[in-house]
């Protein structure tokens, strides 16, 4: 029977070409790579297939240069896709190895080689099945506890990747972080070029575009798109949205997770992305949702204050809210073939 699927989320896992050539297997793995989270759902990755590996290449034409001039979040997104390939490979009994280029300047970010056979464990299967289930959820979260074994497993992954990971439910920290976030949001939304860039990635729920962020109630109000997009472009609603986000952090974010690294290098950003996917998949397996609160990190001056607040010597890369929430609409994806060069 031939497989038919419309989006990568509808992939039939049982069609994995176990007896096909390595290149066909690698091509199949890319369907899971593209389900990774990415900044603005820009899907800023390209893949080059070889007979024994996949190269991940950054697609700078999909960068959000106003808010991410160093392509830091873009590279983290590519790292998130790398981890999805690793997880899928293990499920299909292949052992992946991630190799970094010696030259930090090029668009080529990493290469994944399948080095060996692997005996898939129950945990491999759990993580794999979470790939299609995971979603960013910007809703209001009710109280939540991360099971001990999940926390331990995420901390072990962080150590392996050379990345710092911390969790907090401390109310005082959350309030201080919420104030920094509100300040950052107010500043960003006061800039017309920031609002234009943001609006360019907003999509209506019935949009047929394969990228961008869908959903009407992205912020405080349920304005139907394209009204929401027009409002974003022309009105500075920074004060209201700042207060909305502040309250969301204080009252509807039971747990915050902070990911940081010693350096701001391509390799550390890729490893941040790998840890991000690891954490998000593990949270998905225990029914927890997550979303991002990165605005304070995106502002260089506030980023130092975020580091001080969470007492990390390292450079904060991402802050996540974690909790329990109803499922939301899926975001779209580009066809895998459009991401292969």
Ligand X SMILES: Cc1cc2nc3c(=O)[nH]c(=O)nc-3n(C[C@H](O)[C@H](O)[C@H](O)COP(=O)(O)O)c2cc1C
Q: How many residues bind ligand X (CB under 6 A)?
A: 17
41 touching ligand X, by CB under 6 A: yes
Among residues 16, 28, 40, 219, the one that binds ligand X under rule CB under 6 A = 40
271 touching ligand X, by CB under 6 A: no
Closer to ligand X by CB, 50 or 301: give it. 301
Q: How far apart are CA 106 and CA 205, in angstroms?
A: 36
Candidates 133-141, 161-169, 176-184, 248-256: pick the segment binding ligand X (CB under 6 A).
133-141
242 touching ligand X, by CB under 6 A: no
Q: How far apart are CA 74 and CA 80, in angstroms?
A: 10
Closest separation in Å from C-beta 26 to ligand X: 22
Q: How far apart are CA 266 and CA 279, in angstroms?
A: 20
Query: x/- string (CB under 6 A) for ligand X, residues 195-214?
Result: ------------------x-
Site for ligand X in 281-340 (CB under 6 A): 291-292, 294, 331
Q: Crossing angle for the helix pair 22-33 and 72-91, nearest 10 degrees? A: 130
Closest separation in Å from C-beta 122 to ligand X: 25
- Residues forming beta bridges with residue 284, ordered by sequence position: none
Contact criterion met (CB below 8 Å) for 330 and 273? no
- Spatial neighbors of 339 by CB under 8 A, at least 6 apart, are 30, 34, 43, 45, 46, 47
What are the helix (H) ranges across the chain? Answer: 22-33, 72-91, 122-133, 148-161, 171-189, 192-200, 227-234, 238-251, 266-285, 295-298, 300-309
77 touching ligand X, by CB under 6 A: yes
- Residues forming beta bridges with residue 260, ordered by sequence position: 164, 316
Q: How far apart are CA 333 and CA 10, in angstroms?
A: 11
138 touching ligand X, by CB under 6 A: yes
Closer to ligand X by CB, 120 or 226: give it. 226
Closer to ligand X by CB, 27 or 138: give it. 138
Candidates 103-111, 119-127, 135-143, 304-312: pick the segment binding ligand X (CB under 6 A).
135-143
Closest separation in Å from C-beta 181 to ligand X: 10
Report which DSSP code applies to 331: P
Q: Crossing angle for the helix pair 238-251 and 171-189, nearest 10 degrees? A: 160
Among residues 73, 113, 267, 299, the one that binds ligand X under rule CB under 6 A = 73
Among residues 37, 53, 254, 323, the one that binds ligand X under rule CB under 6 A = 37
Interface positions with ligand X (CB under 6 A): 37-41, 73, 76-77, 80, 135-136, 138, 213, 291-292, 294, 331
């Amino acid at each position: 029977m031939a497989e038919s699927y419309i989006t990568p989320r509808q992939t039939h896992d049982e069609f994995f070409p176990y007896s096909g050539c390595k290149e066909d297997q690698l091509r199949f793995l890319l369907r899971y790579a593209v389900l990774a989270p990415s900044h603005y759902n820009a899907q800023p990755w390209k893949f080059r297939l070889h007979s024994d590996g996949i190269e991940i290449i950054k697609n700078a034409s999909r960068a959000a240069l106003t808010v991410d001039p160093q392509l830091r979040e873009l590279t983290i997104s590519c790292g998130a896709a790398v981890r999805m390939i690793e997880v899928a490979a293990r499920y299909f009994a292949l052992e992946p190895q991630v190799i970094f280029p010696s030259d930090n300047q090029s668009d080529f970010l990493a290469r994944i080689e399948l080095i060996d056979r692997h005996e898939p464990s129950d945990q491999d299967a759990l993580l794999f099945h979470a790939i299609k289930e995971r979603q960013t959820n910007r809703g209001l979260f009710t109280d939540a506890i991360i099971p001990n074994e999940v926390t331990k497993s995420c901390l072990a992954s962080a150590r392996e990747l050379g990345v710092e990971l911390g969790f907090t439910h401390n109310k005082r920290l959350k309030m201080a972080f919420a104030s920094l976030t509100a300040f950052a949001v107010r500043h960003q939304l006061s800039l017309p070029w920031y609002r234009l860039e943001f609006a360019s990635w907003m999509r209506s729920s019935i949009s047929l575009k394969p990228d961008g962020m869908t959903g009407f109630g992205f912020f405080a109000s349920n304005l139907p798109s394209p009204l929401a997009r027009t409002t974003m472009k022309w009105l500075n609603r920074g004060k209201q949205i700042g207060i909305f986000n502040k309250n969301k952090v204080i009252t509807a974010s039971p747990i915050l997770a902070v990911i940081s690294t010693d350096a701001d290098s391509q390799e550390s950003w890729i490893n941040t992305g790998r840890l991000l996917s690891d954490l998000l998949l593990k949270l998905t397996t225990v029914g927890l949702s997550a979303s991002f609160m990165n605005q304070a990190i995106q502002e260089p001056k506030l980023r130092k204050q975020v580091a001080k607040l969470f007492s990390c010597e390292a450079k904060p890369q991402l802050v996540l809210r974690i909790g329990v929430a109803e499922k939301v609409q899926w975001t779209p994806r580009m066809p895998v073939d459009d991401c292969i060069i």
